[in-house]
């Protein structure tokens, strides 16, 4: 199929390259030989698309809105006529891609993400890089971590501009700098192991180096400075040197110094807002706050962009109150929601969907004009990044809808992503073991701790002792095998998860079966476990691990995979050790298995397991806490 673009020369110049790229990717099917695409850019907050015969007309405000409209139209070419009108609720709508939890995504993968954002009509991409970008003056900054070179960022930036997407640096200039500060560069500038020392001139020289690198790499003037979760601010070396200072005063002082650097470099900053609130209240970020009390708070510069991040709440009143509180602090409020791919091995769409819909209900009413969807990957990027798509597409959808239109959302997902939404949603089942599909707002993550826990220790066995995990995960494995056929573009992703389900179908209750057989002196069952069950689990684990390795190396640089390799390899090693221990007992070489003499205590304080109160959570996302009762992270 051939096509021609009509409209003003200026308008065509904005879309020419991107249109050619998306035509190659979408491969539109139609009997039309010559397609005419007419585009008109306006100042109206509306995206309208009309297809009549061999002509497509698109009226829109933003370049990415054009690509959203084009994507829809190209999937309706078989119809003689079709039309669609959407209201634009967000001036800026984007995604934050976490490149700091060991996975630094390749330039090729980020370009693929950019095309996806364009097809969704999203116009921002924030690269979250704590220390994973090049700073020429600091060779240790991001070393051995796969950091982006300045040239790589420029490549990504140039590609984003083709689609009208603004690539925005999302860095850290206060806390979350543990990986950087552990090197010699941190010796003179840290307060605690994770936080810079406020008022230290060397620290501000360092920050200026960071921001100068950002300015040299990104074309935008906008920069996200981070500054979140600095709970120990002023309580380390600063305290010893200067005495106690209220964290609210430290945040204000630090913000102003960094803002001055931004002004010097002609950058427009924003920060996460939590420390501006918690340092004043001494309470949690989301605790109810009085608007009257906010009048007396120590506040940052009124024009500083404040990012209200909320991935957790399903109560609309919390969002409403938080937005009002933010209005007391800044004239520039940005909302950040979450895709929930950080809950362990598998995504939590239950939480992502409930929180996103509730958040947008409040944001639309409050008139928020800028938002982005975070794709955090806590604890080492165990979940493959393609699992982000359901949460991301929903976030994009709500930028063009007042309420969820389920039919349009499903169509949008399948047109843009090239897979079935129902197939992806099967992944929600991994961690919905206790509450049922779609209900995991408590963020349980049994698939992670049942995978990693040691079978002889059985630290989490108390919580699955009355649950038929074998049938549950076997049934899920069967469904995921079908998903590989119905969503072939994601065959490798669903194969990985099918193998995880097969592993869990045998391993989730392995500790319980071993303990029961041991207590009953059922030697034949113990022998069967050694000779058949454990070898079967390890066989699936090996294939699962290799599948995850392929997914990682397809999407990200190799740096960081060594830790996930160690985690998954550790499960295999411990199963083999468990097998040797049990065989030693069966052969009479030892009289008892001390691990199995240990009483299985509840790990969580949750009173019930099945259909438990959503306010209680059966979640443990820290690998080092799952694999042993002993200490991995120890002092020397």
Residue 627, pLDDT > 90, answer yes
CB 60 within 8 A of CB 121: no
What's residue 32's pLDDT? 86
Torsion angle of alpha carbons 447, 449, 450, 455, nearest 10°? 160
What's residue 138's pLDDT? 98
Query: What is the fold of 92-427?
Result: TIM Barrel (3.20.20)
Q: What is the pLDDT of residues 490-538, one digit of tens each?
A: 999 999 999 999 999 999 999 999 999 999 999 999 999 999 999 999 9
Of 29-43, 54-68, 118-132, 461-475, which range is least confident?
Answer: 29-43
Q: Mean pLDDT over residues 564-589, rounded?
A: 98
62: which 2 tokens?
């933003």
Give pTM, 2 decimals. Answer: 0.97
d(CA 480, CA 499): 9
A 10 A CB-CB count for 314 gives 14
What's residue 560's pLDDT? 98
CB 366 within 8 A of CB 313: no
Kindly indicate the confidence band of residue 288, based on its pLDDT and cuts at 50, 70 and 90. confident
What's residue 253's pLDDT? 97
Kindly indicate the confidence band of residue 292, based on its pLDDT and cuts at 50, 70 and 90. confident
Which residue in the block uniquely carries the two structure tokens 């700098």?
177
Which residue in the block uniquely carries the two structure tokens 């190396």?
553
515: which 2 tokens?
């303990």
In CATH, what class is 2-87? Answer: alpha beta
What's residue 636's pLDDT? 64
Kindly indicate the confidence band of residue 289, based on its pLDDT and cuts at 50, 70 and 90. confident
Kindly indicate the confidence band of residue 31, based on its pLDDT and cuts at 50, 70 and 90. confident
Q: Mean pLDDT over residues 424-440, rounded?
A: 97
CB 422 within 8 A of CB 593: no
CB 223 within 8 A of CB 258: no
Burial profile 425-444: b = 16 or more Cβ within 10 angstroms, e = fewer: bbbbbbbbbbbeeebbbbbb
Q: What is the pLDDT of residues 38-59, one digit of tens each?
A: 999 999 999 999 999 999 999 9
What's residue 635's pLDDT? 62
What are the structural domain ranges in the chain? 2-87, 92-427, 445-626
Phi-psi category of residue 520: left, alpha or beta, with phi > 0 → left and psi -120 to 50 → alpha: alpha
Q: What is the pLDDT of residues 391-410, one digit of tens each?
A: 999 999 999 999 999 999 99
A 10 A CB-CB count for 613 gives 11
CATH of the domain spanning 445-626: 1.20.120.670
Element spanning 94, H or E: strand 92-98
Q: What is the pLDDT of residues 135-188, one digit of tens each?
A: 999 999 999 999 999 999 999 999 999 999 999 999 999 999 999 999 999 999
């Amino acid at each position: 199929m051939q096509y021609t673009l009509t409209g003003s020369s200026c308008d065509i110049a904005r879309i020419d390259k991107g249109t050619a790229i998306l035509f190659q990717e979408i491969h539109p099917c139609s009997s039309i030989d010559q397609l005419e695409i007419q585009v008109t850019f306006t100042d109206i907050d509306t995206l309208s698309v009309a297809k009549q015969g061999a002509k497509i007309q698109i009226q829109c405000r933003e370049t990415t809105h054009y690509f959203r409209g084009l994507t829809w139209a190209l999937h309706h070419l078989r119809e003689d006529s079709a039309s669609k009108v959407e209201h634009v609720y967000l001036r800026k709508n984007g995604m934050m891609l976490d490149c700091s939890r060991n996975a630094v995504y390749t330039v090729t993968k980020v370009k693929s993400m950019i095309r996806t954002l364009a097809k969704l009509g999203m116009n921002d991409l924030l690269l979250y890089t704590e220390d994973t970008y090049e700073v020429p003056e600091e060779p240790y900054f991001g070393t051995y971590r796969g950091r982006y070179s300045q040239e790589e960022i420029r490549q990504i930036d140039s590609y984003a501009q083709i689609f009208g997407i603004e690539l925005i640096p999302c860095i850290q200039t206060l806390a979350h700098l543990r990986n950087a500060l552990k090197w010699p560069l941190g010796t003179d500038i840290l307060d605690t192991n994770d936080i810079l020392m406020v008022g230290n001139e060397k620290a501000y020289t360092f920050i200026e180096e960071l921001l100068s690198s950002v300015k040299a790499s990104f074309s935008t003037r906008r920069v996200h400075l981070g500054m979140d979760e600095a709970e120990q601010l002023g309580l380390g070396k600063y305290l010893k040197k200067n005495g106690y200072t209220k964290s609210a005063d430290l945040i204000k002082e630090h913000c102003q110094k960094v803002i001055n650097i931004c002004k010097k470099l002609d950058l427009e900053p924003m920060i996460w807002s939590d420390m501006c609130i918690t340092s004043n209240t001494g309470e949690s970020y989301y605790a109810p706050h009085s608007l009257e009390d906010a009048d007396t708070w120590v506040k940052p510069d009124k024009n500083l962009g404040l990012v209200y991040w909320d991935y957790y709440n399903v109560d609309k009143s919390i969002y409403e109150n938080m937005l009002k509180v933010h209005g007391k602090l800044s004239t520039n409020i940005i909302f950040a929601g979450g895709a929930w791919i950080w809950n362990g091995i598998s995504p939590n769409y239950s939480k992502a969907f409930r929180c996103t819909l509730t958040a947008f209900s409040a944001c639309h009413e409050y008139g928020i004009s800028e938002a982005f969807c975070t794709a955090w990957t806590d604890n080492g990027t165990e979940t493959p990044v393609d699992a982000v798509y359901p949460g991301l597409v929903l976030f994009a959808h709500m930028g063009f809808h007042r309420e969820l239109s389920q039919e349009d959302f499903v169509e949008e997902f399948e047109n843009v992503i090239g897979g079935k939404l129902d197939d992806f949603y099967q992944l929600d089942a991994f961690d919905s073991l206790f509450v049922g599909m779609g209900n995991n707002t408590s963020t349980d993550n049994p698939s992670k701790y049942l995978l990693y826990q040691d079978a002889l220790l059985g630290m989490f066995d108390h919580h699955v002792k009355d649950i038929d995990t074998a049938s549950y995960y076997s049934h899920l494995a069967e469904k995921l095998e079908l998903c590989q056929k119905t969503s072939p573009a994601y065959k490798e992703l669903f194969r990985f998860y099918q193998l995880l389900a097969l592993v869990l179908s045998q391993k989730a209750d392995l500790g319980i079966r071993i303990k029961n057989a041991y207590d009953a002196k059922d030697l034949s069952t113990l022998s069967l476990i050694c000779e058949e069950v454990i070898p079967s689990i390890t066989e699936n684990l090996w294939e699962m691990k290799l599948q995850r390795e392929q997914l990682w190396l397809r999407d990200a640089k190799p740096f960081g995979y060594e830790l996930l390799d160690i985690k998954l390899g550790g499960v295999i090693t411990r199963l083999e050790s468990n097998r040797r221990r049990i065989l030693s007992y069966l052969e009479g070489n030892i009289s008892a298995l001390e691990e199995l003499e240990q009483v299985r205590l509840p790990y969580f304080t949750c009173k019930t397991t099945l259909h438990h109160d959503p306010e209680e959570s059966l979640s443990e996302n820290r690998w080092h806490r799952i694999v042993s009762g002993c200490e991995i992270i120890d002092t020397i």
